[in-house]
Chains A and B, each alone.
Chain A
C-alpha cells in the first residue's frame, strides 16, 4: 500500500493513517533533530503527524510518497522554534572552528554563521535539500511553491553561504513568510 492509498483509506478508516507514522516518524524526527535538537524534535515530530492527519483530505493523492508533505508540515512547525535553531547553529559554529581552529574550520564556522543569517524562505528550502534529501520538485510540493521558486531560493541561499559578505542584504523575516 502506498502512502497515498493509506491516506485515501484513512478518510473512511481513520486508524489507517497510523501506517504513515510507522513509515516516516524517524525521518521527520531526524530532520527536526538536526534543526532544533532531540528534545524539541520529539514535540515537533509528534505534532507533525496529528496536523497531517487533520489536513489529510487536502493531500494530493497523485503523490505516492507522503514524506515530502510530512517534512513540509514539520518545516512549518519549526518556524516557531527559530530561537532554538539559532542557538543550535551557534553550537555548530563553535564545534566547527574557534579562533585556534584550522583555516578550513574557520571557513566552516563562517558558513554556519551565514546559514543563521539566511532569510527563512531560503534556509527552509536549502535545509530540506541538504538535510532531508528532498529533490527540488519534492521541496516545491512540501512547501507548496512552484519549482522555479524553490530553485531560485536555493540558488540564492547557496550564493549567500558561499559569500558570507552578502549578509547585509538579508531582508526581514516576517516579510518573507510563505
Chain B
C-alpha cells in the first residue's frame, strides 16, 4: 500500500455536518452578506437625507412593543409627509455629499461574537469619493464570548481606523408611480434573500438609506412598504442619538431576525435601522440581541474631499 493509499484509508469516519451546524453556518453567511450589502449600497448611493448634527451616542430605547399591528396606516401617512418635503440639495460637479453615521456590526471568530460600534464618514461625488471609518471598543454578546476571544489570544476585532476611495456615486433609477415601483421591486425580490416579502422590505430600505430619492420617490417607497405583507408597526422608538421616531419592521423568519427602520415623525426621513435577533434565531443569540444598527446623523454638501461641514 502506498503512503497515499494509506492516508486515504486512515480508519476514521467522517460524518456529514449536523443540520444544526449547516443552518447556523448558512445563517452566518447570509448575515454577513446582508451586512456587506448594506455597506455597499451606502457606498454607492448619493446620500441626501438632511439631519441634525451629531450628538453623543445614546443607548437605543425601543419603547414600543412589537404587537404585530400592520404598519400600513403609518407608512401611508409618511408617504403624504414625504411628498411635501423639499427636494434634496443638488450636489454640483466638484462638490461632495458628506455624511456621518453611527453604525455597529457583529464581528466574530471561533466561539465568540462581538458588536463593534463605529463612526462612519463618507464623501460622495460624481468623480469618486472617500469613506473613513473609526471603530470603538467591541461589546461581547456574553461573558462566554469574551472568554473565547481572550482564549484565542485577543485577536483584533476591527482596525481602529480604515479609509478607502469610493467609485463615482450612482443615481437611483426607480419609478415614482407606486404600482410600477411595486412591480419593479417585486421582480427584483422574487427568488432572492430569505423570502420575497422580507427581500422587498430590504430593497425599500436600500433605496431610502442615504439616498438621493426625490420626495415623489420617497412617497412611492413608503406606499410600496405599506403594501408588503408582514411589515409591522413596532411603535415609538428612540434612535442612538436620542431622536424620537416610529419604527416599522419586517421579520425574516428563516433566520429569526427583525429588521427595523426608524422614521422621523415630522419629516418621514429615515433616522436609522436596527437588526434584532428573535427567539430561535439561527445564531443562537439571546432573543432581543441587537446584531447591527446604523443611525444617520449628518448630511451636508462640502466643496472638497475630506472636508467636514
A33-B15, A40-B110 as given contacts; A130 in contact with B8, CB under 8 Å: yes
B3 and A158 within 8 A (CB):
yes
Contact of A18 among B7, B17, B33 (CB under 8 A): B33
A29-B17, A42-B24 as given contacts; A18 in contact with B30, CB under 8 Å: yes
Whole-angstrom CA separation of A3 from B204 in the bound complex: 29
Interface residues of B in 1-19 (CB under 8 A from A): 2-4, 6-8, 10-12, 14-18
Distance in Å from the Cβ of A172 to the closest Cβ of chain B? 20
Asked if A13 CB lies within 8 Å of chain B CBs, one says: yes
A130 and B4 within 8 A (CB):
yes
A162 and B3 within 8 A (CB):
yes
A25 and B30 within 8 A (CB):
no
A50-B32, A131-B7 as given contacts; A42 in contact with B14, CB under 8 Å: no
Per-position contact with A for B11-54: 1 when CB-CB < 8 Å, else 0? Answer: 11011111001101110111011101100100000000000000
A34 and B14 within 8 A (CB):
yes
A41 and B17 within 8 A (CB):
yes
A18-B26, A42-B25, A45-B17 as given contacts; A111 in contact with B33, CB under 8 Å: no
Distance in Å from the Cβ of B282 to the closest Cβ of chain A? 11
Asked if B309 CB lies within 8 Å of chain A CBs, one says: no
A50 and B28 within 8 A (CB):
yes
A21 and B21 within 8 A (CB):
no
B33 and A14 within 8 A (CB):
yes
Asked if B193 CB lies within 8 Å of chain A CBs, one says: yes
B25 and A45 within 8 A (CB):
yes
Contact of B29 among A38, A53, A112 (CB under 8 A): A53
Interface residues of A in 1-33 (CB under 8 A from B): 13-18, 21-22, 25-26, 29-30, 33
Asked if B184 CB lies within 8 Å of chain A CBs, one says: no
Contact of B24 among A46, A112, A131 (CB under 8 A): A46
Whole-angstrom CA separation of A95 from B3 in the bound complex: 17
Whole-angstrom CA separation of A29 from B64 in the bound complex: 42
Interface size class of A (residues with CB under 8 A): 35 or more
Whole-angstrom CA separation of A42 from B25 in the bound complex: 8
Interface residues of B in 74-126 (CB under 8 A from A): 109-111
Contact of B7 among A25, A43, A126 (CB under 8 A): A126
Distance in Å from the Cβ of A33 to the closest Cβ of chain B? 6
Minimal Cβ-Cβ distance residue in B for A154: B4
Asked if B192 CB lies within 8 Å of chain A CBs, one says: yes
Please, which residues of chain A bring their CB within 8 A of the CB of B192? 13, 15-16
Whole-angstrom CA separation of A40 from B21 in the bound complex: 11
B29 and A17 within 8 A (CB):
yes
Asked if A59 CB lies within 8 Å of chain B CBs, one says: no
Please, which residues of chain B bring their CB within 8 A of the CB of A96? 10-11
Whole-angstrom CA separation of A42 from B15 in the bound complex: 12
Distance in Å from the Cβ of B300 to the closest Cβ of chain A? 30
Per-position contact with B for A106-139: 1 when CB-CB < 8 Å, else 0? Answer: 0010011001000000000011011100000000
Interface residues of B in 51-84 (CB under 8 A from A): none
Whole-angstrom CA separation of A115 from B3 in the bound complex: 10
B29 and A111 within 8 A (CB):
no
Contact of B3 among A22, A38, A43, A111 (CB under 8 A): A111
Whole-angstrom CA separation of A103 from B16 in the bound complex: 33
Asked if A161 CB lies within 8 Å of chain B CBs, one says: yes
Asked if A92 CB lies within 8 Å of chain B CBs, one says: yes
Whole-angstrom CA separation of A127 from B193 in the bound complex: 36
Please, which residues of chain B bring their CB within 8 A of the CB of A49? 25, 28-29
Contact of B40 among A14, A111, A161 (CB under 8 A): A14
Interface residues of B in 147-178 (CB under 8 A from A): none
Distance in Å from the Cβ of B170 to the closest Cβ of chain A? 12
Some 6 contacts from A to B, beta carbons below 8 A apart, are: A15-B30, A17-B33, A18-B33, A25-B22, A26-B22, A108-B6
A15-B33, A18-B33, A111-B6 provided; 7 other pairs, C-beta below 8 A? A17-B33, A34-B14, A45-B17, A45-B25, A92-B10, A130-B8, A131-B8
Enumerate the 4 nearest inter-chain pairs by beta-carbon distance, A residue then B residue, closest first. A46-B25, A161-B3, A130-B7, A42-B21
Binding site for B on A (CB under 8 A): 13-18, 21-22, 25-26, 29-30, 33-34, 38, 40-43, 45-47, 49-50, 53-54, 92, 95-96, 108, 111-112, 115, 126-127, 129-131, 158, 161-162
